[in-house]
Amino acid sequence: MAKQVKKPKSERPVHTLRHRSIEAAIWRNQTEKGPFYKVTIVRSYKKDDAWHDTPSFGYDDLMNVAKLMYDAHSWISGAIAQEAAERKPAAPSMAH
């Protein structure tokens, strides 16, 4: 059995979503203009007792791909909103 090597944190997705044999990985990239997100999606399949990934999807996969993309969009929207809230300075307290 091959030993799995963990990738450095910067080379791993910030979040993954899976539905059956399809996985969406969400990646966060930092730029001068701020962070942005990208999504990669693959289908896993087993051939000759080994697992492989492919970016190719059949007809029966398409609704699962659509659901994963919808869920990825929702997750990214939440992450962007959280980042914006963390950047916003706290309002001064009204207590005396």
pLDDT tens figures, 8-56:
666 899 999 999 999 999 999 999 988 899 999 999 999 999 999 999 9
Instruction: Judge contact between 4 and 51, C-beta under 8 A.
Output: no
Is residue 90 very low, low, confident or very high in pLDDT (cuts 50, 70, 90)?
Answer: low
In this prediction, residue 33 carries a pLDDT of: 87
Separation between Cα atoms, residue 16 and residue 51, nearest integer Å: 18
In this prediction, residue 52 carries a pLDDT of: 96
pLDDT of 59 over the 90 cut: yes
Separation between Cα atoms, residue 5 and residue 25, nearest integer Å: 18
pTM above 0.85, yes or no: no
